[in-house]
Structure 1
Amino acid sequence: MNQPANDPLKGYRGQARAALERFRVRVWSEVRLTNDAGSVFEGVILPRSETFDDLHVVIKMRNGYNTGVHVDRIRAIQELGYKEAVYKIPEREFPFNAGLPKVTLLGTGGTIASRLDYRTGAVIPAFTPGELYGAVPELADICNLTTRKLFGVFSENMSKDQYIPLAQAIGDEIAAGADGIVIGHGTDTMGHTAAILSFMVQHSPVPIVLVGSQRSSDRPSSDAALNLIHAVRAAAYGDIAEVMICMFGPTSDRYGLLHRGTRCRKMHSSYRSTFRTIGDIPLCMVSRSRFDYLTRDYLPRDKTRKVRIDAVYDDRVTILYYYPGMKPDLVDALVEKGYKGIVIAGTGLGHVNKPLYPALKRAIQQGVHVVMAVQTLWGFAQMYVYDTGRDLLDIGIVPLDNMLPETALMKLCWVLGHTQEHAEVMRLMRTPVSHEITEREPHNGYVILQGGLPETEEFITSHWK
């Protein structure tokens, strides 16, 4: 049953509604709630979606987090005040300064371009990227910012329909004289988008920087503003004219890191320092005041260079993440459904079990292009070492050295957008475009600290902020 728009208990029904009525509080009441364990929760009662359960009262705590308390555990609710929230990111016209570089911000959605939906307590995409200036006025000291909202989607909904126009929009902005491009993007699939843009946008004269945030702007621990400042600085003044990801470096806010688009992966679901360069080192440390380049092996900024936009994509490709006991009917089903490319994330040096061999051979004979990456992420597919790998080579599976599985997926989609001729597909997959395959892994390209060890604990004690 639909509730009236002026209902003081917006979205609440059943037992939760009865609890609010019993304690004479409403949505937007500032309350002190005590549960059966004596724990005290202070904050504002949020509206609920009518599709949610009727067993929880939801409070936006003063620390910025939403907490749901089961009605059976509520012992007391005291109203401390009342103030209906009206959440709107301010939108302001961006000032022009003739002495500053020109940066274009392309909006796709995601947490960095978001606002809170108090009806559900969820974060939803912002309506215009221009609202970001109202939230982060420091941007006016860095550049002349132009904003274009291309899409308003969460990153899990990015696909061919977004990748192609995004690459074309980058080309348009470069042609219009932009000194750098920033792309606001959700973090979940930011690595995928950075990889495909590394193939679709080649020989860029200016930096192309993807940026997002792990925590939304309404939370005290949000990384949105600082990530955006770092990304805009990198686009405006940085020397690296490649597709990059810019996010927190350490867990603190001391600096951000610029990661190469083909070698970066999200490695934690909620840490602000979630992005890691895999099999290499980051390109650069960036702060509010300086750039510290960690390597000189990059394409430098050069406004005379002509960008090449090669925006093609065939989405009939998938990753087959191997696990022990995998059945061959999975491979047969992919062929039957019309898939043209399979990236296997194999174990160890690039292995799968023997029962898959006949199905993989049939797939290749029917024109499916099958390549091998390793699910260890670090290291190389070296299929010539053991009999298993050599058998797979004989079947026709091609190893991709140290290309990340997700990067391999994106590249195979891009390659198949050009050709279906098998030898040419494999030649293109094996030919590096943007460091997706490297000759070797540097000695400091694989650093994973194991917690609990004395040397790790000593490091954490002295460096953790």
Structure 2
Amino acid sequence: MQAEVGDKVRVESKGMQYEGILMPSQTRSIVLKLKNGYNIGIRQESASVTLLEKKEENKIHKPISEPIKIKKEKLPNISILSTGGTIASKIDYRTGAVTSQFSAEDILRAIPELEDIANYNCRMIYSILSENMRPSYWSELARAVYEEIKNGADGIIVTHGTDTMMYTAAALSFMVETPVPIVLVGSQRSADRPSSDNAMNAVCAATVAASDIAEVCVVMHGSTSDDFCTIHRGTKVRKMHTSRRDAFQSINAKPIGRVEYPSREIKMLSGYVKRGEKKLALHDKLEPKCALIKYATGASSESLLFHSGSGYKGIVIEGTGLGHVSTEWIPHIKNAVEAGIPVVMTSQCIYGRVCDRVYDTGRDILKAGAIEGEDILPEVALVKLMWALGQAADIEKVREIMRTGIAGEITRSTCI
């Protein structure tokens, strides 16, 4: 019997044997998905293929035109809000570029395993790659999330590009107080690539959206194999690699948990807010005119001068070590604060927390009026400052908000 795409096969080539799932190929090579989730290409002319097992009927490669099934009783109702990104993208073979072309409905049809987890309502909020995200889109997305929960959704999935997913996760964490799970998910590789991680990530995200973890979280591959996804708190996650499937890591905190695959068993690793503990509330006002400035050795204070004199309402500085900048920057920090512009100090270090009380420079920065960013990630501090300025105009109130833990962005200890 001839092997087809989706079948389990053994390929022999040049004295080596490989077993895996036969995948689509755009070249004259045999593409095989191995058990560890990675793919290899083998030249057809030097290989022999043995069929080991036929694919499961109706489980692989469902026609894209097939309608979504009628809702099943006793399954939770989950809303999928699509914003684009690689999980909703495919390759344009005319240019070789990845473009955002799939809707949430397309994702459901392409991953039939999702039907066993929940019933779905799909909405496309926008279809963009994540580098084109902006604060006004966060507010629009937060309102859409709020509406879906208010209308009875038991959980929310937001499909999103990975490059700026942590910014959006932080924004939703501050803007939406939620009684149900809000899960952001993406993929490092587009849906039509043989090595795509979109299906497993989507299944794990749906599992979390149907769970009792009532927080904003990011669910992505936890290893380079297809064995589990990690559940990251939305204010403690960062993309740490450009292309690996396990690119996302929790920083200065343990992950909330992990989803074993394919069993979909959730194993908890830390405390979390449970379903129904909070009442639904929306705080969607933001001040987009905020800047994140990275300090570098010998950097002139002109950047700080520019932002404080160009209508910016808040500034986050990514300083060295414990949260330091050159002493020549300190008078300009003081001038900005006296002009009503809050300045937040964070660190370029991935792990640890800011403490400006150890060295003279740090003490002078505090005297100038800067706000210590504790162990908040710089990008999260930027989003939180935008949000804080949307809630209060008074700089002292903004200072109080920035020092107060709102959505798990500040931890008591960073000894992880």
Which amino acid in structure 2 is aligned with residue 292 of structure 1?
A: K
Which amino acid in structure 2 is aligned with residue 346 of structure 1?
A: G
Partner of 2:309: 336
Superposition deviation, residue 426 in structure 1 = 0.3
Superposition deviation, residue 108 in structure 1 = 0.2
Which amino acid in structure 2 is aligned with residue 98 of structure 1?
A: E
For each residue in 1:172-202, what CA deviation from the matched residue of structure 2 results, as whole angstroms up to 9, or x when unmatched?
A: 1111111110000000000000001000011
* 119, 127, 149: which one aligns with 1:152: 127
3-state SS in 1 of match to 2:335: helix
Partner of 1:418: 391
TM-score in terms of structure 1 length: 0.75
Partner of 2:59: none
Partner of 2:273: 299
Give the whole-Å Cα distance in 2 for the aligned partners of 1:127 and 1:91.
13
Superposition deviation, residue 306 in structure 1 = 2.3
For 1:351-370, list aligned pairs within 5 A: 351-370=324-343
Partner of 1:233: 207
Partner of 1:17: none
* 373, 386, 389: which one aligns with 2:346: 373
Counterpart check, 1:264 vs 2:246: no
Which amino acid in structure 2 is aligned with residue 277 of structure 1?
A: S
Counterpart check, 1:283 vs 2:256: yes
- Relative to structure 2, which stretch is displaced further, 285-294 or 147-156? 285-294
Residues 1:61 and 1:336: Cα distance change in structure 2 (over 3 Å): farther
For each residue in 1:393-433, what CA deviation from the matched residue of structure 2 results, as whole angstroms up to 9, or x when unmatched?
A: 11111101101101100000001112221110100111111
Partner of 1:397: 370
Give the whole-Å Cα distance in 1 for the aligned partners of 2:63 and 2:364.
59
Superposition deviation, residue 377 in structure 1 = 2.3
3-state SS in 2 of match to 1:108: strand
Which amino acid in structure 2 is aligned with residue 178 of structure 1?
A: A
For each residue in 1:261-283, what CA deviation from the matched residue of structure 2 results, as whole angstroms up to 9, or x when unmatched?
A: 00000000000000000001110
Partner of 2:164: 189
Partner of 2:13: none
Q: Please say if residues 207 and 241 of structure 1, whose CA atoms lie closer than 8 Å, have aligned partners that are also in contact.
A: yes
Which amino acid in structure 2 is aligned with residue 139 of structure 1?
A: L
Q: Please say if residues 92 and 131 of structure 1, whose CA atoms lie closer than 8 Å, have aligned partners that are also in contact.
A: no
Residues 1:140 and 1:219: Cα distance change in structure 2 (over 3 Å): same
Superposition deviation, residue 91 in structure 1 = 4.1
* 183, 192, 216: which one aligns with 1:243: 216
Residues 1:388 and 1:232: Cα distance change in structure 2 (over 3 Å): same
TM-score in terms of structure 2 length: 0.84
Q: Please say if residues 92 and 130 of structure 1, whose CA atoms lie closer than 8 Å, have aligned partners that are also in contact.
A: no
Which amino acid in structure 2 is aligned with residue 360 of structure 1?
A: I
Counterpart check, 1:133 vs 2:108: yes
Superposition deviation, residue 368 in structure 1 = 1.3
Partner of 2:137: 162
Partner of 1:51: none
Counterpart check, 1:180 vs 2:155: yes
Partner of 1:208: 182
Which amino acid in structure 2 is aligned with residue 146 of structure 1?
A: N
Superposition deviation, residue 358 in structure 1 = 2.0
Q: Please say if residues 114 and 217 of structure 1, whose CA atoms lie closer than 8 Å, have aligned partners that are also in contact.
A: yes
- Relative to structure 2, which stretch is displaced further, 157-166 or 227-236? 157-166
Which amino acid in structure 2 is aligned with residue 347 of structure 1?
A: T
Give the whole-Å Cα distance in 2 for the aligned partners of 1:161 and 1:60.
46
Give the whole-Å Cα distance in 1 for the aligned partners of 2:65 and 2:74.
24
Q: Please say if residues 377 and 405 of structure 1, whose CA atoms lie closer than 8 Å, have aligned partners that are also in contact.
A: no
Give the whole-Å Cα distance in 2 for the aligned partners of 1:347 and 1:148.
43
- % identical equivalent positions: 44
- Relative to structure 2, which stretch is displaced further, 429-438 or 361-370? 361-370
Larger radius of gyration: 1
Question: What count of residue pairs does the alignment treat as equivalent?
Answer: 362
Which amino acid in structure 1 is aligned with residue 172 of structure 2?
A: L
Residues 1:325 and 1:197: Cα distance change in structure 2 (over 3 Å): same
Partner of 1:6: none
Partner of 2:74: 99
Which runs of 5 or more residues in structure 1 are unaligned?
1-42, 45-58, 65-87, 446-465
Which aligned segments of 4 or more residues in structure 1 are displaced greater than 3 angstroms?
Answer: 59-64
Which amino acid in structure 2 is aligned with residue 150 of structure 1?
A: I
Give the whole-Å Cα distance in 1 for the aligned partners of 2:103 and 2:396.
45
Counterpart check, 1:224 vs 2:224: no
Give the whole-Å Cα distance in 1 for the aligned partners of 2:168 and 2:140.
12
3-state SS in 2 of match to 1:130: helix
Give the whole-Å Cα distance in 1 for the aligned partners of 2:219 and 2:315.
30
Partner of 1:117: 92
Partner of 1:254: 227
Which amino acid in structure 2 is aligned with residue 348 of structure 1?
A: G
Q: Please say if residues 91 and 133 of structure 1, whose CA atoms lie closer than 8 Å, have aligned partners that are also in contact.
A: no
Partner of 1:461: none
For each residue in 1:354-410, what CA deviation from the matched residue of structure 2 results, as whole angstroms up to 9, or x when unmatched?
A: 111222222222221101111102111110011010010111111011011011000
Give the whole-Å Cα distance in 1 for the aligned partners of 2:246 and 2:63.
25
Superposition deviation, residue 209 in structure 1 = 0.3
